[in-house]
Amino acid sequence: MEKLYLLAMLAGTRIAVEAGEVEAVVRLTDISPVPGMGAHVAGLSALRSRVLTIIDVAAIVHGRATPAEQRGLAIIADISGHSYGLMVDSVTDICHVPEGELPLRGQLDAAWTPFARAIVEHEGYPWLLVSLAGFIEGCAAAQAA
């Protein structure tokens, strides 16, 4: 059975996310900063009467916060009972990938190594398969250390 994937751009890299992890994709409007948080926490936002923690995934991967004027879209996900909005550059498609997941091959940017699970190919392009929960869990592990 073919899985469904959300294809997006994140920090200039093509990524794929299993659709089962995605609740929605929304355009970000108001993000309230939270004093004392790391650069990866862009702030808090509201969506349908609930509070979302907005995560700047580019800051997790590359260590640089996304400028406020470039914060446009977020993938909404429930991870370990908490609501998150994970910022992405753009969303390209949601589709089935008949070939399924392929093993990682070639050189992978070291910044993506902790988050990459596999590759999916769509229309001749490779998309790095990541887990949204992996970004959150990676931050929690780094803070605990």
52-92 tens-digit pLDDT:
999 999 999 988 888 878 888 999 999 999 999 999 999 99
Residue pLDDT, tens place only, 6-41: 999 998 899 999 999 999 999 988 899 999 988 899
For 134, how many CA atoms within 13 A lie in the half-sphere containing its CB? 12
Phi, psi (deg, nearest 5) at residue 103: -65, 150
Give residue limits of the domains in the chain.
4-127
Please tell me the CATH code under which domain 4-127 is placed.
2.40.50.180
Whether this model's pTM surpasses 0.85: yes
Can you give the length of the chain in residues?
A: 145
